[in-house]
Amino acid sequence: MALDLGSVSLRNTTLGTITVQQPNRTTLAASDFKPKPNVSLAEINDVSTLGVEDGESLVYVSANNRYEFKVASAAVTTIDGGLF
């Protein structure tokens, strides 16, 4: 099997040569893109890690279009336990 960037050629003595070419490609990243593993939350533009404390959750705050660490809370207004 021979591999050429963008096409694959297979040779079989019975069938002859079969060439499969990839249609036009779309580049999703810049040619100089270098993935960076282990990115910290502090390095992401829309995440604030200022004053993070134990027990907090990452919450989106629409008022400033950022994710912030806050104590997660919810108001329980009704408890339906069914019939007993």
Distance CA 23, CA 26 (A): 10
- C-alpha gyration radius of the chain: 27
15-27 pLDDT tens trace: 566 666 666 666 6
Q: Is residue 17 part of a domain?
A: no
Q: Which residue(s) pair with 18 in the sheet?
A: 10
Residue linked to tokens 């249609």:
23
- Does 29 fall in a domain? no
Is residue 58 in a domain? yes
pTM assigned to the model: 0.40
| Overall domain count for the chain | 1
Beta-carbon contacts of 67 under 8 Å, excluding residues fewer than 6 positions away, are: 46, 47, 48, 58, 59, 60, 61
Q: Does any domain span residue 67?
A: yes
Q: Is residue 83 part of a domain?
A: no
Give the pLDDT confidence of 27-82 residue by residue, as tens digits.
Answer: 666 777 777 888 887 788 888 888 888 989 888 889 988 888 888 877 888 888 87
* Structural domain of 47: 41-77
